[in-house]
Amino acid sequence: MANNNVKFHGLLQRPYEPMFLPKSGGQVYFDLPNNYFTDRYRPLGQTLQNRFGSNVQTRIPLPNIAAPDISFAQSIPRRGGFSTFNEMHRRVAGQLIELFLNQSDPDNLCAVAAYCRDRVNGPMFQYALSVALQHRQDTANVPIPSFLEMFPDRFIDPAVFPQMQEEGRVVSQGDRMAIDIPMNYTASERELEQRMAYWREDIGVNLHHWHWHLVYPATGPDRVVRKDRRGELFYYMHRQIVARYNTERFANQLPRVLTFAHLREQIQEAYFPKIIRSSNNRTFPGRGRNQTLNDLNRVEDQVIVSISDMETWTGRIFEAIDNGFANAANGTRMPLDNQTGIDVLGNMIENSTLTVNVNYYGRLHNEGHNMLGYIHDPDNSFLEGFGVMADNTTAMRDPVFYRWHQHIDDIFERHKRRFKPYNRDELSNSDIEIESISAQLNRAGTKSNILLTFWQRSQVDLGTGLDFGPDGNAFATFTHIQHAPFTYRIKVKNDSNINKRGTVRIFIAPVTNESGQNIPFREQRRLMIELDNFAVNMNPGENNIVRRSDQSSVTIPYERTFRNVAASNIPSNDQFRFCNCGWPSHMLLPKGTPQGAMYDLFVMISNYNDDVVNQGFDENAPCNDSHSYCGLRDMLYPDARNMGFPFDRTVASSISSLKDFMRPYKNMATTPVQIRFTNTVISRV
């Protein structure tokens, strides 16, 4: 009997190939009762089964079931786009998730999912089944293939697909060559924003973003949406994206991103994504220069929102922030205090179904994605689908994503500014003194505090995502930024005579902007990039803390971002829980410059008693390694402080540098670090 991994992987691959075609490169076959076939194929059912179902290793017989009522899903065309920013799409996906969650065991889930698969929108099916698998206890360990495997068309230049088809058709498995995905195919160097294309269009970055929203859906059954501090994590994870993006811009001699606060202004930056939706061979539309938003009146998509709606909602959100409370739908006042305020605002502004009052505060962030995603065809006159901004898998490709999220972050900052700077009690850690910190490459003889970045060429197998493509592997190579692995060394003195526990918080931030001017601390504070967060025990006296860069609480390893589920024989035990949410490790550090750009490395060891969340948590357990941006599955967020602590609040006006900020505190340290970028491509071995 096939195990759950084999079954569900069969359901999740090649989304548009009917269920009766063999799966997993011809190894797996689902035996279907007649009513699973769609009308087109039912008359041919037996013939098709005989034709395709011979010579397979593993047969999975599916039981007779009463056809579930999925008429609710018909409003989303099977081969059209699916967007979690579209309210109607989210609602329908929520119903499908509910249907999947309600199945009594994995066998029934498999049967119902197999019935639905050929009848509903492809990406929506993948999304709903992935969410359900992740959130059911009895399937929590089923590996969810990377979205790159399921829908490679969202992530890479479509020019490579015909070449891959040719290679797969003509050349037998063992001899197939990898097809190279070019860098820099979306614009020329005349377009300055193109300097950031390697970052915006990075496959791992976009996968992370998709997986984050998969782990934290904004709509669906309450037990799926209601997660500890999800609103705050929405704010923090996206704030970190904006901080990282701005920092990267400086290294590429570009100024920080302009906030998109005034919705009636022209948007100077254009973007032409050059990717296609392979389900219907339509392109994702481009966005020309100097376009302006319009009211959306796309009746067919049920996307109806005006610029003045957006302005009204923004005004009411500001009013809530300035008053320090929000008006809940039931008439009560929700205090926007330090404890819960940011979480309430996160859910309100995003908006998730946890918003306190959707009728009053609206759907600001999500509709912003829609307005920008439909800027080319606001009333559907031209029957054009949405652009990349209206799709979670592709939004980070577009320069305007960062302008929009800078604005969203500025709204959260307005709330954060209401709080007094952290005081001595909150920042200090008695008896703990950091004597020195350094970061050094993992190679003997290298100088401390010089880190290296370069291009790396890696390979992925996209075979499982090519509907009606050749059996077996289809390799592609792509080029991405990478850094040489390094190690932090932290010398700490514990002046007490007892063991102490602390949380080590490591950040990095740029020292100078794009033109080499020093960045004042009030700006640098918001550019602090979290690199790691972990607990330590400190004995009385001297302690040497050694931590490798690949242990970061922010990232997941390359293999987790890109591993091909089909290729690896993953047992169904807990050791191999497959968790794809996490910043890709190859993007941990800013790129730096060929001459070497200077950054401040900052380390703080805070008092564990103020950090601890009352639960067992082992950072070495599978899936627990990227909690800073993704939290922990089925557990509370593991750090009791405000996310971003100690840099989430403003500081006294007398503080003008990071050194000023940390001067009173022995439990903090900083050192300048240089990041040097070498413009060569090294193949992953």
Give the footprint of ligand CUO on this chain (CB under 6 A): 209, 213, 238, 365, 369, 395, 405
In the complex with ligand CUO, the residue whose CB is nearer, 90 or 405, is 405
> What gap in Å lies between CA 685 and CA 300, rounded to an integer?
50
Between residues 148 and 669, which has the closer beta carbon with respect to ligand CUO?
148
For residue 213, the minimal CB distance to ligand CUO (Å) is: 6
Q: How far is the CB of 222 from ligand CUO (least distance, A)?
A: 20
> Is residue 136 classed as helix, strand or coil in its secondary structure?
coil
Least Cβ distance, residue 90 to ligand CUO (angstroms): 13
d(CA 14, CA 464): 6
> Which of 157, 391 has the CB closer to ligand CUO?
391
Closer residue to ligand CUO (CB): 89 or 238: 238
The CA distance from 450 to 435, in Å, is 20
Tokens of 249: 């811009």
Cβ-proximal residue to ligand CUO, closest one: 395
Q: Active-site residue among 232, 350, 367, 530?
A: 350
Of 209 and 403, the one with the shorter C-beta distance to ligand CUO is 209
Q: How far is the CB of 263 from ligand CUO (least distance, A)?
A: 15
Closer Cβ to ligand CUO, 402 or 665, answer by number: 402
Q: Hey, what are 210's tokens?
A: 């998709």
Cis peptide before 217 (omega within 30 of 0): no
CA-CA-CA-CA dihedral for 431, 435, 441, 442, to nearest 10: -60
List strand residue ranges (DSSP E) for 426-575, in order.
432-441, 450-461, 475-483, 486-494, 500-510, 529-538, 541-548, 555-556
Closest distance between ligand CUO and the C-beta of residue 345, in Å?
14
User: Token digits for 560?
Assistant: 């987790």
Pick between residue 238 and residue 415 the one whose CB is nearest to ligand CUO: 238
Instruction: State how far the alpha carbon of 404 is from the alpha carbons of 238, 366, 373, 383, 557, in Å.
Output: 11, 11, 12, 25, 29
Distance in angstroms (rounded) separating the CA atoms of residues 172 and 471? 10
Report H helices in 388-478. 399-416, 424-427
Instruction: Name the residue nearer to ligand CUO (CB basis): 121 or 351.
Output: 351
Buried b / exposed e across 183-192, counting CB within 10 Å, b at 16+?
A: beebbeeebe
Structure tokens at 477: 């190579």
**Spatial contact of 456 and 681, defined as CB atoms under 8 Å apart:** yes
Closest distance of CB 404 from ligand CUO, Å:
7
How distant, in Å, are the alpha carbons of 203, 204, 226, 475, 568 from that of 563? Answer: 13, 11, 29, 13, 8
Q: CB neighbours (10 Å) of residue 523?
A: 14
What is the per-residue burial (b if ≥16 Cβ within 10 Å, else e) of 304-341?
ebeeebbeebbebbeebbeeebbbeeeeeebebeeeeb
Which long-range CB contacts under 8 A does 265-269 form with residues at least 24 apart? 265/292, 266/290, 266/291, 266/292, 267/291, 267/292, 267/293, 267/372, 267/375, 267/400, 267/403, 269/193, 269/399, 269/400, 269/403
Q: Give, as one character, the DSSP assignment of residue 291.
A: B
For ligand CUO, the closer CB: 125 or 404? 404
Angle at 340 between CA 337 and CA 345, to 5 degrees: 90
The residue among 233 and 604 lying less far from ligand CUO, judged by its C-beta, is: 233
User: Closest separation between CB of residue 242 and ligand CUO, Å?
Assistant: 11
Q: Which of 644, 668, 642, 672 is nearest to 655 (CA)?
A: 668
Beta pairing partners, 277: 282
| Cα 127 to Cα 217: distance, rounded to the nearest angstrom | 10
Cα dihedral across residues 360, 361, 362, 368: positive or negative: positive
Q: How far is the CB of 218 from ligand CUO (least distance, A)?
A: 9
What residues contact 438, with CB distance under 8 A and at least 6 apart? 448, 449, 488, 489, 671
Rounded Cα–Cα distance for residues 626 and 586 (Å)? 14
The nearest distance, CB 229 to ligand CUO, in angstroms, is 16
Supply the minimum distance, in Å, between the C-beta of residue 122 and ligand CUO: 21
Nearer to ligand CUO, 392 or 513 (CB): 392
Kind and range of the H or E run holding 316: helix 307-323
Is the CB of 235 or the CB of 486 nearer to ligand CUO?
235
Give the span between the Cα atoms of 435 and 490, in whole angstroms. Answer: 8
490: which 2 tokens? Answer: 């932290």
Considering the complex, state which of residue 350 and residue 461 has its C-beta at the smaller distance from ligand CUO.
350
Q: Is 350 a catalytic residue?
A: yes
Task: Provide, rounded to whole angstroms, the least separation between the CB of residue 326 and ligand CUO.
Answer: 20
The CA-CA-CA angle for residues 94, 98, 101, to 5°, reads 135
Residue 375 zone, left/alpha/beta (φ > 0; ψ -120 to 50; rest):
alpha
Catalytic residues: 350
